[in-house]
Structure 1
Amino acid sequence: MPPLQNFSVPDFHLPFGNAKHPLAARANAEATSWVVRHELVTSAVDQFAGIGCGHLAGRVSGDAPYERVLLLAQWMAWSFVLDDQHDHLIRKGEVAAWRPVVGAITEYLDTGRITSPDLARNPLVSGFAELCDRILAGLSPDAATRYRTHVRLVLASLDQEAGNRGGSGRPTVEEYILLRRHSSQILPMMDMVEAGLGLDLPQYVHEMRELRQLVASVLDVISWGNDVFSLPKEHSCGDTNNLVSLVAAWEGRSLPDAVRAVEQRIQVRIEEYLAGRRRLFEVLDADPSTDPPLRDAVARYVHSCEDWMIGADLWQRYECTRYRDERFAAGLESAYTRPDLVSVA
């Protein structure tokens, strides 16, 4: 498809403040060195560094110790390579090569070992194993269970997106919204930030309907905003895993009108988040078992949710070159993508 003309991202009017970790730039440099050291990226290193994983990590975990910010930045860097490699295999019609790699990642997630020596040497798999060990070492048993569950859902969502692009049918808007909450890859990162901030909310709090609805709002605001930022690339390469494209197709709108419709959806979702935040604390305050330390921990978690929404937006607008890159806007693969990273046996 031809590139979008005169495209601009609207202001989503996020009513939150944000303080970035003072060592975010250092985390970005070190995360870039990490992917190079693991041979996940072997060329166009400056382009990869321009993604700004350390800046995003610093915006969503500004109060965390530096080593936690760095670990998150490295996980984000790995996640971007994972996503770009998956895109490469879809473009080449070689998605079958993806399954053994995902199988090895899942095996390590479940058992802490990889039975195939060849797969254990794959940079995507070995990089995951190193990060997974470090991440799980800092999580409580309940948090580790959530993290494992969320990683599995991320991997499954990538399969679903591949199916959407492979001709299995365009998802409805409602189906896509549920899928996007996992393909955004944010939930495992939220688990990491919670631990990095020294929080460990009880499992029953995580299971509260009010908190689950709040987190869903956060995921939607971030994901829908990202779909607007990435629309030029996904439109150019014919990828319909994008809320704007789906709204245009299902509602018979032009792309500019669909962008405005998604912008309006985001504003509604922000209002729903604010109302949900009030409901959450009303429920907590009405429960006699809610002591001051728990309420304070939930308040810090909620503040972290707001850091995620505004931090992701600021990062995309001002610190990430990915969405301004001409190759990206033209729907081309990233220059740093390794075509030999995952190959058909």
Structure 2
Amino acid sequence: MQVPALYSPYAPALHPQHARINQRTAQWAMQHRIGSPPLRSALIDSDIGTFAARILPTGREDVAQFLADFVLWLFGVDDGHCEDGTLGSRPGALAAELSRLLRVAQNPETPMPGALAGGLRDLARRFTTLGGTPAQKARWVDSLREYYLSVVWEAEYRSSGTFPTLPDYTLMRLYDGATSVVLPLLELGYDDELHPDERDDRQVRAVAEMAFFVICWDNDLLSYDKESRSGQWVLNVITVLQHQLGCSREQALDLAVEQRDRVLHLFSRATATLRCGARPALRRYLDSLAAFIRSAQDWGVTSTRYGAGSVRFTPRLERPSLEPLDIPVITWWWDLVDELDLGEPAALHRLTPCTA
């Protein structure tokens, strides 16, 4: 499946110490024995340290290092437990295992054996030594809970070989991509801590969710070919659209690209407006959300994990539109069009069943 050039209005950026960060993450994976030897080797070869270095290109090196180690650990959970492991199709057993891990994040003193528990114990302690406040640590743990809950939901579909509706898939994907767990580190990476009234402001929360959507839709587009060749059940926006709308694979691709284009266009307009008059910490946070989007794109096409090196990005959007998507769980994002005076809202862009 040929993915077209994807709209991306943000320039690539990279922390100057990216090579050192990547090397240390490989050492950390070996030290904590994350995943089986083949999985560990694949994760080390995936250039995860460079991904983290792109998210915080001008941030603290020690926080970028923490983020790289944490992302590798997350893939150890996702690949080792949720997708390729025996727990991935047993939602009850998976929920139990993830609940035990959550307790380690809350209280590192919790006795739990295993490499993933040991790695998370190290991360939980380092979060505090990096200067993370109790409130930031609590948000980090809460976002892990969101991630765990969503992958258990995914496991239910995997166990039955069925597919969610597009609204349910959208809601699940906002969290099972482990995107919200990065947010506290966007603050910490620049020695910031947003006031709750800023971070939890409805408009700021909306643009954060838009970033999650774009990152996860892009990930689905870039990973589809590799996943589909596995011959296994694949949960991806392409397969969800095919099942819901009766689309061909190519028609589903066009729809998914249009969806992420609309959300990214809204994100870029909204964040540009929100930056005006914002405190420096909030401006850095909004800029970091944009860097997060671009870093996922660049890593997606350069990492050996997805084999999507032929995909390109373009700063030009052929058909910019502020029409909302008819996905009820996210339609409220387009309230920002009026609230921030971004333009005239239009009727819902409704998806209709595809024809051959």
Per the TM superposition, whether the score is higher than 0.5 is yes
1:276 has 2:270 as partner: yes
SS of the aligned residue for 2:160 comes to coil
Give me the whole-angstrom Cα distance separating, in 2, the residues matched to 1:188 and 1:270. Answer: 20
Cross-structure match for 2:109: 113
* 1:258 Cα deviation from its structure 2 partner: 0.8
Aligned residue runs from structure 1 range 70-149, under 5 A = 70-85=65-80, 86-90=82-86, 97-115=93-111, 120-137=112-129, 138-149=131-142
Q: 1:187 matched to which residue of 2?
A: 180
C-alpha distance in 1 between matches for 2:182 and 2:231: 28
Q: Counterpart in 1 of 2:202?
A: 209
Instruction: Tell me which of the two structures has the higher relative contact order, counting C-alpha pairs closer than 8 angstroms and 6 or more residues apart.
Output: 1
Percent sequence identity is 22
- Give 3-state SS (helix, strand or coil) of 2:260's partner: helix
**2:40 counterpart of 1:56:** no
TM-superposed CA distance for 1:145, in Å, is 2.1
CA gap of 1:323–1:94, structure 2 versus 1, over 3 A, is: same
Scaled by the length of structure 1, what TM-score is found? Answer: 0.82
> 2:149 and 2:227 mapped to 1: Cα distance?
20
- Taking the aligned partners of 1:61 and 1:216, their CA distance within structure 2 comes to 19
- Secondary structure class of the residue paired with 1:74: helix
Structure 1 residue corresponding to 2:63, chosen from 50, 65, 68 = 68
- Three-state SS of the structure 2 residue aligned to 1:322 is coil
Give CA-to-partner distance per residue, 1:159-214, whole Å, 9 cap, x none: 01101111184211111111111111011112112211212110111111100110
Distance 1:79 1:265 in 2: 27
- In structure 2, relative to structure 1, the CA distance for the partners of 1:324 and 1:168 (3 Å cut) is closer
Over residues 132-182 of structure 1, what are the superposed CA-to-partner deviations in whole Å (9 max), with x where a residue is unaligned?
A: 111244322322221111011111111011011111842111111111111
Rounded to whole Å, the distance in 2 between the matches of 1:217 and 1:254 is 26
Aligned to 1:164: 157
- Residue 247 to residue 123, structure 1, CA distance change in 2 (3 Å): same
The answer to whether the 8 A contact 2:12-2:294 is kept is yes
Residue in 1 aligned with 2:16? 22
Check 1:69–1:166 CA distance in 2 against 1; reply closer, same or farther (3 A cut): same
Q: How many residue pairs end up in the alignment?
A: 304
Q: Which of residues 224, 248, 257 in structure 1 aligns to 2:251? A: 257
The reply to whether residue 323 of structure 1 matches residue 323 of structure 2 is no
Distance across 2 between alignment mates of 1:203 and 1:239? 41
Structure 1: unaligned runs, 5 residues or longer: 1-6, 286-293, 326-345
How far 1:128 moved relative to its partner?
0.6
Give me the TM-score of the superposition, normalised by structure 2: 0.79
Where structure 2 has 5 or more consecutive residues not aligned to the other structure, the ranges are 309-356
2:262 counterpart SS class: helix
What residue is the counterpart of 1:40 in the other structure?
34
RMSD: 2.1
User: Closer, same or farther in 2 for the Cα pair 1:186/1:92, shift >3 Å?
Assistant: closer
Structure 1 or 2: more helix by fraction: 1
- What is the letter of the counterpart of residue 324 of structure 1? G
Partner of 1:299: 283
Distance 2:166 2:45 in 1: 31
